[in-house]
Amino acid sequence: MDLLLILTYTAICVAVFKIFRIPLNKWSVPTAVLGGILIIGILLLLMNYNHPYSEVVRQYYVTTPIIPEVRGRVIEVPVQPNQPVKEGDVLYRIDAAPFEDKLRGIEGEIAAARKDLERSRELFAKQAISERALDQSRASVDDLQAKLDDARFDLEQTVVKAPSEGIVTQLALRPGMMAVPLPLSPAMTFIHKQEGAFIGWFRQNSLLRLESSSEAEVTLDSIPGVIFAAEVAEILPVIGEGQVSPGAQLMRFGQQRVPGRVAVKLQIRDPRFEEFRLPGGVFGQAAIYSDHFHHVAVMRKVLLRMAAWMNYVFPLH
């Protein structure tokens, strides 16, 4: 964009010198050069401040690690990778035989305990046993009932279902593998079907011109030459570099030297965007147009379109 402005100004100066036959001397040439520096510098300052640009925009999506509630051997994986599934569809099944045996055992125990409780009530009515003995029988039934509920819950967890609409990608789970309820070792990763949020990372000196509902434009590396109309949906209220977490390490000056950027959520409103089937996590650039010095926004739009066309150039590595 800088080069384009310089070339445009140079062409205007050449035309002015030719049309008005201005002589080239030590006064006219430096005046034209200094005037160009001043004009272009002011235009760039106004554009950068009032219509901020981010060269880092990415689409973010939410994933859920699918971790089993119980430990067991996988016997079936009916889900197919990268195929849509609905909420409640079976992702995989764990061998339920051990859990069924445990459930039947507890059901037998609780049936016997309930018979004992009935006898205890009859004996207590005849004052053959104390109230304490009757309470112990009740407690035994309550304890077994709690174990029965846990056993039923564990049995239900042998069938792992989809938490919502979405897909499972990079599926490596196979029948015969062990499913273990460890948070650091999920059996698969579920990607929810939802509109991915585009986050643009803007410099902090643009904060005074970042406002919700402002007009914006987005271009993506995966779709060279195309500009999508968008708007500012939300400005995240915190910057990650400023967070403090509990821990043994104290803050140090060296850790605070990175200023960080402001995260801005951008909502693409262009209906053409739905025509493209893009993978989640695509990368791009964006510009936001404020109401201040709106006529200077033309320069920013030209700059963004130049960046969009530059996406046709592939890196050599």
In the block, residue with structure tokens 């009032």? 50
pLDDT of res. 316: 54
Structural contact between residues 310 and 55, judged by C-beta atoms closer than 8 angstroms:
no
Among the candidates 158, 188, 218, a domain finishes at 188
Give residue-wise pLDDT tens across range 173-209: 999 999 999 988 899 999 998 777 899 999 998 888 8
Looking at the fold, whether 73 and 142 belong to one and the same domain comes out as yes
pLDDT, averaged across the chain? 89
Among the candidates 188, 205, 221, a domain finishes at 188
Looking at the fold, whether 223 and 127 belong to one and the same domain comes out as no
To which H or E segment does residue 229 belong? Answer: strand 228-235
Provide the CATH number for the domain around residue 217.
Answer: 2.40.30.170
Looking at the fold, whether 29 and 177 belong to one and the same domain comes out as no
Measure the CA angle with vertex 316, ends 202 and 219; round to 5°: 35
Nearest to 200 by CA among 218, 184, 188: 218
Q: Domain range for residue 162? A: 69-188
Mean pLDDT of the region 47-68: 92
pLDDT of res. 315: 64
Q: What are phi and psi of 262, to 5 degrees?
A: -90, 130
Looking at the fold, whether 131 and 36 belong to one and the same domain comes out as no
Whether 254 is covered by a domain: the verdict is no
Give residue-wise pLDDT tens across range 8-30: 788 888 888 888 888 888 888 88
Taking the C-alpha atoms of residue 88 and residue 72, their distance in angstroms, rounded to an integer, is 21
pLDDT of res. 110: 92
Question: Does the pLDDT of residue 89 top 90, yes or no?
Answer: yes
- How many distinct structural domains can be found in the chain? 3
